[in-house]
Amino acid sequence: MWLYLLALVGLWNLLRLLRERKVVSHLQDKYVFITGCDSGFGNLLARQLDRRGMRVLAACLTEKGAEQLRSKTSDRLETVILDVTKTESIVAATQWVKERVGNRGLWGLVNNAGISVPLGPNEWMRKKDFASVLDVNLLGVIEVTLNMLPLVRKARGRVVNTASTMGRMSLIGGGYCISKYGVEAFSDSLRRELTYFGVKVAIIEPGGFKTNITNMERLSDNLKKLWDQTTEEVKEIYGEKFQDSYMKAMESLVNTCSGDLSLVTDCMEHALTSCHPRTRYSPGWDAKFFYLPMSYLPTFLSDAVIYWGSVKPARAL
Protein backbone atom coordinates (compact mmCIF):
# COMPACT_ATOMS: atom_id res chain seq x y z
CA MET A 1 0.00 0.00 0.00
CA TRP A 2 2.74 2.43 1.01
CA LEU A 3 4.75 1.61 -2.10
CA TYR A 4 1.80 2.48 -4.32
CA LEU A 5 1.32 5.75 -2.45
CA LEU A 6 5.01 6.67 -2.75
CA ALA A 7 4.96 5.80 -6.45
CA LEU A 8 1.89 8.01 -6.96
CA VAL A 9 3.50 10.95 -5.14
CA GLY A 10 6.71 10.49 -7.12
CA LEU A 11 4.82 10.37 -10.42
CA TRP A 12 2.85 13.49 -9.53
CA ASN A 13 6.06 15.41 -8.68
CA LEU A 14 7.70 14.25 -11.92
CA LEU A 15 4.74 15.38 -14.01
CA ARG A 16 4.66 18.74 -12.21
CA LEU A 17 8.40 19.21 -12.77
CA LEU A 18 8.07 18.49 -16.48
CA ARG A 19 5.08 20.84 -16.75
CA GLU A 20 6.86 23.68 -14.94
CA ARG A 21 9.97 23.38 -17.12
CA LYS A 22 8.09 24.71 -20.16
CA VAL A 23 9.38 28.24 -20.82
CA VAL A 24 7.49 31.15 -22.36
CA SER A 25 8.59 31.94 -25.91
CA HIS A 26 10.22 35.17 -27.15
CA LEU A 27 11.55 36.24 -23.73
CA GLN A 28 13.86 38.76 -25.39
CA ASP A 29 10.82 40.80 -26.44
CA LYS A 30 9.21 40.90 -22.99
CA TYR A 31 9.45 43.83 -20.57
CA VAL A 32 9.65 43.35 -16.80
CA PHE A 33 9.30 46.18 -14.27
CA ILE A 34 10.93 45.57 -10.88
CA THR A 35 10.71 47.80 -7.79
CA GLY A 36 13.40 48.04 -5.12
CA CYS A 37 16.43 47.45 -7.36
CA ASP A 38 19.00 49.41 -5.34
CA SER A 39 20.06 46.24 -3.54
CA GLY A 40 18.94 42.80 -2.40
CA PHE A 41 16.50 40.63 -4.32
CA GLY A 42 15.49 43.37 -6.78
CA ASN A 43 19.06 44.17 -7.74
CA LEU A 44 20.01 40.52 -8.28
CA LEU A 45 16.81 39.75 -10.20
CA ALA A 46 17.36 42.71 -12.54
CA ARG A 47 20.87 41.47 -13.37
CA GLN A 48 19.65 37.89 -13.68
CA LEU A 49 16.86 38.71 -16.15
CA ASP A 50 19.16 41.04 -18.08
CA ARG A 51 21.63 38.18 -18.60
CA ARG A 52 18.74 36.12 -19.89
CA GLY A 53 18.04 38.74 -22.55
CA MET A 54 14.79 40.17 -21.17
CA ARG A 55 13.94 43.88 -21.27
CA VAL A 56 14.39 44.97 -17.66
CA LEU A 57 12.90 48.22 -16.37
CA ALA A 58 14.45 48.65 -12.93
CA ALA A 59 13.02 51.07 -10.37
CA CYS A 60 15.50 52.36 -7.78
CA LEU A 61 14.95 54.67 -4.84
CA THR A 62 18.25 56.52 -5.35
CA GLU A 63 20.26 57.67 -8.35
CA LYS A 64 23.35 56.08 -6.81
CA GLY A 65 21.62 52.69 -6.76
CA ALA A 66 20.50 53.15 -10.36
CA GLU A 67 24.04 54.05 -11.53
CA GLN A 68 25.58 51.06 -9.79
CA LEU A 69 23.02 48.72 -11.34
CA ARG A 70 23.52 50.11 -14.84
CA SER A 71 27.29 49.64 -14.50
CA LYS A 72 26.78 45.90 -14.00
CA THR A 73 24.25 45.26 -16.77
CA SER A 74 23.80 45.56 -20.53
CA ASP A 75 22.45 48.56 -22.41
CA ARG A 76 19.04 46.84 -22.57
CA LEU A 77 18.39 47.52 -18.90
CA GLU A 78 16.87 50.91 -18.10
CA THR A 79 16.36 52.53 -14.71
CA VAL A 80 13.89 54.97 -13.22
CA ILE A 81 13.75 56.64 -9.79
CA LEU A 82 10.67 55.54 -7.85
CA ASP A 83 9.39 56.21 -4.34
CA VAL A 84 6.49 53.80 -3.84
CA THR A 85 5.08 55.94 -1.01
CA LYS A 86 4.40 58.91 -3.35
CA THR A 87 1.53 58.87 -5.83
CA GLU A 88 3.16 61.38 -8.17
CA SER A 89 6.31 59.23 -8.36
CA ILE A 90 4.27 56.12 -9.19
CA VAL A 91 2.24 57.95 -11.86
CA ALA A 92 5.44 59.29 -13.47
CA ALA A 93 7.05 55.83 -13.44
CA THR A 94 3.93 54.31 -14.99
CA GLN A 95 4.04 56.83 -17.83
CA TRP A 96 7.76 56.10 -18.27
CA VAL A 97 7.03 52.37 -18.55
CA LYS A 98 4.12 52.97 -20.95
CA GLU A 99 6.37 54.91 -23.31
CA ARG A 100 8.79 52.00 -23.47
CA VAL A 101 6.47 49.00 -23.74
CA GLY A 102 4.08 50.59 -26.24
CA ASN A 103 1.36 48.29 -27.59
CA ARG A 104 3.16 45.17 -26.38
CA GLY A 105 2.20 45.87 -22.79
CA LEU A 106 4.15 44.96 -19.68
CA TRP A 107 4.86 41.23 -19.36
CA GLY A 108 6.03 41.25 -15.75
CA LEU A 109 5.49 43.42 -12.67
CA VAL A 110 7.62 42.47 -9.66
CA ASN A 111 6.67 44.26 -6.44
CA ASN A 112 9.84 43.82 -4.44
CA ALA A 113 10.51 47.15 -2.63
CA GLY A 114 10.22 46.78 1.11
CA ILE A 115 11.48 47.85 4.55
CA SER A 116 11.44 46.17 7.96
CA VAL A 117 11.86 48.91 10.56
CA PRO A 118 10.40 50.11 12.87
CA LEU A 119 10.41 46.57 14.26
CA GLY A 120 9.99 45.44 17.85
CA PRO A 121 7.41 45.01 20.62
CA ASN A 122 4.05 46.51 19.60
CA GLU A 123 3.67 48.36 22.90
CA TRP A 124 6.81 50.38 22.21
CA MET A 125 5.39 51.83 19.01
CA ARG A 126 3.09 54.60 17.85
CA LYS A 127 0.67 54.66 14.95
CA LYS A 128 3.19 56.42 12.70
CA ASP A 129 5.68 53.57 13.24
CA PHE A 130 3.20 51.07 11.82
CA ALA A 131 2.15 53.43 9.03
CA SER A 132 5.70 54.04 7.76
CA VAL A 133 6.15 50.31 7.05
CA LEU A 134 2.66 49.78 5.66
CA ASP A 135 3.14 52.71 3.25
CA VAL A 136 6.02 50.91 1.55
CA ASN A 137 5.31 47.19 1.98
CA LEU A 138 1.55 47.13 1.42
CA LEU A 139 0.07 50.40 0.17
CA GLY A 140 3.05 50.86 -2.15
CA VAL A 141 2.48 47.40 -3.61
CA ILE A 142 -1.22 48.12 -4.10
CA GLU A 143 -0.77 51.52 -5.73
CA VAL A 144 2.02 50.40 -8.07
CA THR A 145 -0.06 47.39 -9.11
CA LEU A 146 -3.22 49.41 -9.75
CA ASN A 147 -1.30 51.86 -11.94
CA MET A 148 0.57 49.18 -13.91
CA LEU A 149 -2.34 46.75 -14.24
CA PRO A 150 -3.68 47.99 -17.62
CA LEU A 151 -0.21 47.46 -19.12
CA VAL A 152 0.09 43.97 -17.61
CA ARG A 153 -3.41 43.04 -18.78
CA LYS A 154 -2.56 44.13 -22.31
CA ALA A 155 0.36 41.67 -22.37
CA ARG A 156 -1.60 38.93 -20.53
CA GLY A 157 1.45 38.92 -18.29
CA ARG A 158 2.49 38.27 -14.70
CA VAL A 159 2.36 39.99 -11.32
CA VAL A 160 4.90 38.75 -8.77
CA ASN A 161 4.48 40.03 -5.21
CA THR A 162 7.12 39.58 -2.53
CA ALA A 163 5.51 38.56 0.73
CA SER A 164 7.28 36.57 3.46
CA THR A 165 6.91 33.57 5.73
CA MET A 166 6.05 36.32 8.23
CA GLY A 167 2.91 36.78 6.16
CA ARG A 168 1.89 33.32 7.31
CA MET A 169 3.07 33.46 10.90
CA SER A 170 3.71 36.66 12.83
CA LEU A 171 6.74 36.37 15.12
CA ILE A 172 7.55 40.04 15.72
CA GLY A 173 5.69 43.25 16.40
CA GLY A 174 5.44 46.30 14.19
CA GLY A 175 4.16 46.84 10.68
CA TYR A 176 6.33 44.28 8.85
CA CYS A 177 4.29 41.12 9.54
CA ILE A 178 1.03 43.05 9.16
CA SER A 179 2.13 44.31 5.75
CA LYS A 180 3.10 40.83 4.56
CA TYR A 181 -0.24 39.38 5.67
CA GLY A 182 -1.82 42.18 3.64
CA VAL A 183 0.29 41.36 0.56
CA GLU A 184 -0.91 37.75 0.81
CA ALA A 185 -4.56 38.83 0.92
CA PHE A 186 -4.19 41.39 -1.87
CA SER A 187 -2.40 38.86 -4.08
CA ASP A 188 -5.04 36.19 -3.53
CA SER A 189 -7.92 38.47 -4.49
CA LEU A 190 -5.95 39.88 -7.42
CA ARG A 191 -5.11 36.40 -8.74
CA ARG A 192 -8.76 35.36 -8.83
CA GLU A 193 -9.88 38.59 -10.51
CA LEU A 194 -7.16 38.54 -13.18
CA THR A 195 -7.63 34.89 -14.13
CA TYR A 196 -10.39 36.04 -16.49
CA PHE A 197 -7.84 38.13 -18.42
CA GLY A 198 -5.10 35.52 -18.66
CA VAL A 199 -2.89 37.29 -16.10
CA LYS A 200 -1.10 35.11 -13.54
CA VAL A 201 -0.25 36.28 -10.02
CA ALA A 202 2.50 34.62 -7.94
CA ILE A 203 3.47 35.16 -4.31
CA ILE A 204 7.07 34.80 -3.12
CA GLU A 205 7.32 33.83 0.57
CA PRO A 206 11.03 33.83 1.47
CA GLY A 207 12.38 32.58 4.75
CA GLY A 208 15.31 34.41 6.33
CA PHE A 209 17.84 35.96 3.93
CA LYS A 210 20.65 38.44 4.50
CA THR A 211 19.59 41.70 2.85
CA ASN A 212 19.32 45.33 3.97
CA ILE A 213 16.14 44.32 5.80
CA THR A 214 18.18 42.13 8.15
CA ASN A 215 21.02 44.65 8.64
CA MET A 216 21.91 44.40 12.34
CA GLU A 217 23.12 47.99 12.69
CA ARG A 218 19.81 49.29 11.36
CA LEU A 219 17.80 46.89 13.54
CA SER A 220 19.78 47.88 16.64
CA ASP A 221 19.35 51.63 16.04
CA ASN A 222 15.65 51.06 15.45
CA LEU A 223 15.19 49.23 18.76
CA LYS A 224 17.02 51.95 20.69
CA LYS A 225 14.79 54.64 19.18
CA LEU A 226 11.67 52.68 20.08
CA TRP A 227 12.91 52.20 23.65
CA ASP A 228 13.64 55.92 24.01
CA GLN A 229 10.11 56.87 22.93
CA THR A 230 8.32 54.52 25.33
CA THR A 231 6.85 55.73 28.62
CA GLU A 232 8.55 55.23 31.96
CA GLU A 233 5.80 52.81 32.93
CA VAL A 234 6.50 50.58 29.91
CA LYS A 235 10.25 50.71 30.59
CA GLU A 236 9.65 49.58 34.17
CA ILE A 237 7.44 46.71 33.03
CA TYR A 238 9.89 45.39 30.43
CA GLY A 239 13.06 46.13 32.36
CA GLU A 240 16.40 47.56 31.29
CA LYS A 241 17.83 44.16 30.33
CA PHE A 242 14.97 43.35 27.95
CA GLN A 243 16.34 45.53 25.17
CA ASP A 244 19.70 43.74 25.16
CA SER A 245 18.10 40.30 25.39
CA TYR A 246 15.70 41.12 22.57
CA MET A 247 18.56 42.36 20.39
CA LYS A 248 20.63 39.23 21.05
CA ALA A 249 17.66 37.03 20.13
CA MET A 250 17.19 39.00 16.92
CA GLU A 251 20.91 38.73 16.14
CA SER A 252 20.77 34.95 16.62
CA LEU A 253 17.84 34.82 14.22
CA VAL A 254 19.65 36.95 11.63
CA ASN A 255 22.74 34.73 11.89
CA THR A 256 20.65 31.78 10.70
CA CYS A 257 19.61 33.67 7.55
CA SER A 258 20.89 32.46 4.20
CA GLY A 259 23.24 34.57 2.12
CA ASP A 260 22.23 32.88 -1.14
CA LEU A 261 19.75 35.40 -2.54
CA SER A 262 19.53 33.46 -5.80
CA LEU A 263 17.21 30.98 -4.05
CA VAL A 264 14.64 33.78 -4.04
CA THR A 265 15.41 35.35 -7.41
CA ASP A 266 15.31 31.94 -9.11
CA CYS A 267 11.73 31.60 -7.87
CA MET A 268 10.91 35.08 -9.17
CA GLU A 269 12.46 34.25 -12.53
CA HIS A 270 10.47 31.02 -12.75
CA ALA A 271 7.25 32.89 -11.97
CA LEU A 272 8.01 35.25 -14.86
CA THR A 273 9.30 32.80 -17.46
CA SER A 274 7.51 29.49 -16.90
CA CYS A 275 4.40 28.67 -18.95
CA HIS A 276 2.93 27.21 -15.76
CA PRO A 277 4.19 29.23 -12.75
CA ARG A 278 3.27 28.27 -9.21
CA THR A 279 0.84 30.27 -7.13
CA ARG A 280 3.27 30.38 -4.20
CA TYR A 281 7.02 29.95 -3.86
CA SER A 282 8.70 29.38 -0.48
CA PRO A 283 12.49 29.72 -0.93
CA GLY A 284 14.72 28.76 1.98
CA TRP A 285 14.92 25.63 4.08
CA ASP A 286 13.60 27.48 7.14
CA ALA A 287 10.51 28.45 5.16
CA LYS A 288 9.84 24.90 4.01
CA PHE A 289 10.62 23.01 7.20
CA PHE A 290 9.83 25.44 10.02
CA TYR A 291 7.75 28.52 9.29
CA LEU A 292 5.21 27.04 6.90
CA PRO A 293 4.66 23.81 8.91
CA MET A 294 4.33 25.96 12.06
CA SER A 295 1.67 28.06 10.36
CA TYR A 296 -0.48 24.95 9.90
CA LEU A 297 -0.24 23.82 13.53
CA PRO A 298 -3.12 24.44 15.94
CA THR A 299 -2.75 27.91 17.42
CA PHE A 300 -2.09 26.71 20.97
CA LEU A 301 0.85 24.60 19.75
CA SER A 302 2.47 27.31 17.61
CA ASP A 303 1.95 29.84 20.44
CA ALA A 304 3.62 27.47 22.91
CA VAL A 305 6.66 27.04 20.66
CA ILE A 306 7.03 30.80 20.17
CA TYR A 307 6.46 31.54 23.87
CA TRP A 308 9.12 28.99 24.84
CA GLY A 309 11.73 30.63 22.61
CA SER A 310 10.82 34.27 23.22
CA VAL A 311 12.42 36.93 25.42
CA LYS A 312 10.32 37.59 28.55
CA PRO A 313 9.67 41.07 30.06
CA ALA A 314 10.94 41.65 33.60
CA ARG A 315 7.42 41.68 35.04
CA ALA A 316 6.05 38.78 32.99
CA LEU A 317 3.69 36.40 34.76
For the annotated catalytic residues, the residue numbers are 176
Q: How many CB atoms lie within 10 A of CB 257?
A: 16
Distances (CA, A) of 77 to 34, 58, 177: 11, 7, 32
What residues have CB less than 8 Å from 2, skipping those under 6 apart? none
- Would you report the helix, strand and coil content of the chain in percent, each value rounded to 5? 60, 10, 30
Q: How far apart are CA 35 and CA 84, in angstroms?
A: 8
SS3 83: coil
Laid out side by side, the sheet with 108-111 consists of 78-81, 55-60, 31-34, 108-111, 158-162, 200-204, 280-281
Burial of 296 (0-12, 13-18, 19+ CB in 10 A): exposed
**Contact present, 60 and 82 (Cβ < 8 Å):** yes
Residue 34, H or E segment = strand 31-34
Q: How far apart are CA 113 and CA 160, in angstroms?
A: 12
The sign of the dihedral angle between the CA atoms of 51, 52, 55, 58 is negative
